[in-house]
Amino acid sequence: MDHDTLGLSLTDLFMPGTSIAEKIVRPVAVYLFLVLILRIGGRRELGQLNAFDLVVLLTLANAVQNAIIGDDSSLIGGFIGGATLVLLNLGVIKYLYRHPGLDRRIEGEPVLLVKDGRLVRENLERELITEKELLAVIHRQGVDRFEACAEVILETSGTITVLAHQPTPDEVIMGDIVVRLERIERLLGERPTRTPGAA
């Protein structure tokens, strides 16, 4: 490899093909677009409840790739774009932390999907979550049926929190009594019975 070829390769590798200002503006614009489009698309896109949602997220990342980097394939250009995204996100998180009211308006509120073992159907319909999808989620969290849930909440992050039904103190006492009675019955059943007239 001659000196000119080596010099050209190093230039392509380290020198951005577009201006630094463009390398900063592009990631900022794409970031804002993705925040808006995912907010419109709903929380299920964030929670990845099924294969279709996962496909959308993967193809969305691929679709905006060129919008972020443009025609530039240099290392420095990629570093500038990546650093812009990370710093912008950090700034947004810090700003929303100091302004919780704005954070709630952007993120919305958690949505109740199950209350005391009963489906909140209007919330399921609004979030486009089927009973089958929700049942699969609660199964992954170790609960076998809706009736065993005290609450199931769709969080603002798109994750689903399952709070299993906890027995009341009276239910604990009654359960303990039932267990003790069963144990007594078992012990009485194991005791040998005396036949009449036996010595």
pLDDT digits (tens, 9 = 90+) for 62-118: 778 778 777 777 778 788 888 888 899 899 889 888 988 887 777 778 899 999 989
Query: In the chain, where are the structural domains located?
Result: 3-107, 110-188
Residue 84 buriedness (CB in 10 A; 0-12 / 13-18 / 19+): buried
User: CA neighbours within 13 Å on the CB side: how many for 127?
Assistant: 30
Q: Who contacts 199 (Cβ-Cβ below 8 Å, separation ≥6)?
A: none
Fold of domain 110-188: CRO Repressor (3.30.240)
pLDDT digits (tens, 9 = 90+) for 133-167: 899 888 988 888 898 899 999 988 778 889 988 77
| Sheet of strand 149-154, all strands in order from the earlier edge strand to the far edge | 118-119, 111-115, 149-154, 160-164
Any idea which of 21-25, 178-182, 188-192 has the lowest mean pLDDT?
A: 188-192
